Structure 1
Amino acid sequence: MGGASARLAWAAEMAAPQPGERVLEVGCGHGVLLSLIAERLAGGSVLGLDRSPTMTAAALRRNREDVAAGRVAVQTAELAAADLPAEAFDLVVAVHVGAFWRSPAEDFGVVRRVLAPGGRFVLVDQPLTPGAADGRATRIAALAAPYRLAVTGVHTGDTPPRPSIAIGLCVAR
């Protein structure tokens, strides 16, 4: 899709939405990743959430056809304030959302609540410091643990201008 950065194209690959899944993107911005995810879903749906009305308006414009078809919805709200039912999403994805990287990271609790049984959470970032993936994964594991989310995998990708990391999480057993 034109206009997608290497980081967002890679994030869509890492999220790997499956046919029929219900997906939540936290911090959807202009809606580029929403478009990439919607392209990969067959019979599923994706909700983009952003606290900025300017960003959600842009996401709605970019995804107008998918919105009209019922594949994409967009909501203006912070994650903690959004009206999201429990166990509503098979996949939650967030790209460069600072709330997940800083203590107390209470948004992990919301993700835990909205993940369906067997659901997964993919957190993507592009660290400023090369080689930061291991330290980032350790930090995320510590921040997510109180909310019963566990790291399931860490991936790095060549996404100019800097490598990106994707940290997969699921409900701890």
Structure 2
Amino acid sequence: MKQSLTGRGDYGIDAPIVVRNLLLMGAMFLLIGVTLFFIFPERLKWLGVTIGSVFLFSFLVVTAEALYMVWSSKVGKFRMREKLLDLVAMRGDERVLDVGCGRGLVLNAAAQRLSTGKAIGIDIWNTRDQSGNHPEATIANARTEGVAERVEIVDGDVRRMPFEDNDFNIVVSSLTIHNIPNADDRLQALSEIMRVLKPGGRFAILDFQHVREYADMFNQLGAHDVQIVGPYWLMFPPVRIAIGRKAKES
């Protein structure tokens, strides 16, 4: 069952520190570039114009990147969550886990596709990864979107998830696993995803880093039909999605 959300939820800006730093860097490049046009003497004016133009071009590039990131947080990621959920082909009666649910962008969209199922989100709510990231914001968004009765959130680390084996039909994740800096720990996180999936359960992991590594690790963990789809340019940096399923019991 696929329905539209109300669209009233507030899902913040992704990587707000990066966006801020890009804007500050752009302002610095602009200031330096304009200054260089005027400080060189007339006989070296060509040099000031040349160097200043390089700084002004840099201003345009980093400012465009910052604005692209803001656009992807306000528009692109909403479109990408639908692509992500389409890939796991929900019926409506599943138990769905959103790993790194943040303020509930994917979690609430998954819940909206459910009739008798449940969407559970797990996160440690790191504000460096998303502005205003807090469990209260997640709950508020679920209420605003009208899906609170089908949503549950859990405070926990993906590397040590407090769920039983074979607990979920579907596991999804968006822009989360790359925040784990160590490859062994990323493998542990993917091992946990495989552990909590029911036999035959499906996964879809969206990220802009390490996606080939995820696919290789899932194959190593015995997943079936592992594929990478993308890249998609609706978000910046562009993202890809690792999909597959847990083997069915023989």
TM-score band, normalised by shorter chain: 0.7 to 0.9
8 Å Cα contact 1:34-1:72 kept in structure 2? yes
Q: Which has the higher strand share?
A: 1
Q: Are residues 1:28 and 2:108 paired?
A: no
Q: Which has the higher helix share?
A: 2
Paired residue for 2:157? 78
Structure 2 distance, partners of 1:140, 1:83, is: 22
Structure 2 distance, partners of 1:169, 1:12, is: 13
Offset, 1:107: 0.9
TM-score by structure 2 length?
0.57
Structure 1 distance, partners of 2:229, 2:217, is: 18
Structure 1: which 5+ runs fail to align? 128-134
Offset, 1:147: 2.6
Q: CA 1:15–1:172 in structure 2 vs 1: closer, same or farther (change >3 Å)?
A: closer
Paired residue for 1:113? 195
Q: CA 1:101–1:141 in structure 2 vs 1: closer, same or farther (change >3 Å)?
A: farther
Q: Would you identify which runs of 4 or more consecutive aligned residues in structure 1 move more than 4 Å? A: 99-102
Q: CA 1:151–1:106 in structure 2 vs 1: closer, same or farther (change >3 Å)?
A: farther
Structure 2 distance, partners of 1:11, 1:160, is: 13
Structure with higher Rg: it is 2
1:67-123 CA distance string (max 9 Å, x none): 3x2x11001111233320110100000111126785112111111111101101111
Structure 2 distance, partners of 1:151, 1:102, is: 26
1:12-50 CA distance string (max 9 Å, x none): 333432220110000000101111111111211110000
8 Å Cα contact 1:151-1:167 kept in structure 2? no
Identity, % of aligned pairs? 23
Structure 1 distance, partners of 2:180, 2:229, is: 17
- After alignment, is 24-33 or 98-107 more displaced? 98-107
Q: CA 1:87–1:61 in structure 2 vs 1: closer, same or farther (change >3 Å)?
A: same
Name which of 162, 165, 169 aligns with 2:240. Answer: 165
Structure 2 distance, partners of 1:160, 1:141, is: 20
Which residue type is aligned with residue 119 of structure 1? Answer: G
TM-score by structure 1 length?
0.80
- After alignment, is 42-51 or 156-165 more displaced? 156-165
- Report the count of equivalent residues: 163
8 Å Cα contact 2:121-2:154 kept in structure 1? yes
8 Å Cα contact 2:225-2:244 kept in structure 1? yes
Which residue type is aligned with residue 58 of structure 1? Answer: A
Name which of 161, 167, 173 aligns with 1:94. Answer: 173
Paired residue for 1:148? 222
8 Å Cα contact 1:52-1:77 kept in structure 2? no
8 Å Cα contact 1:21-1:45 kept in structure 2? yes
Paired residue for 2:147? 66
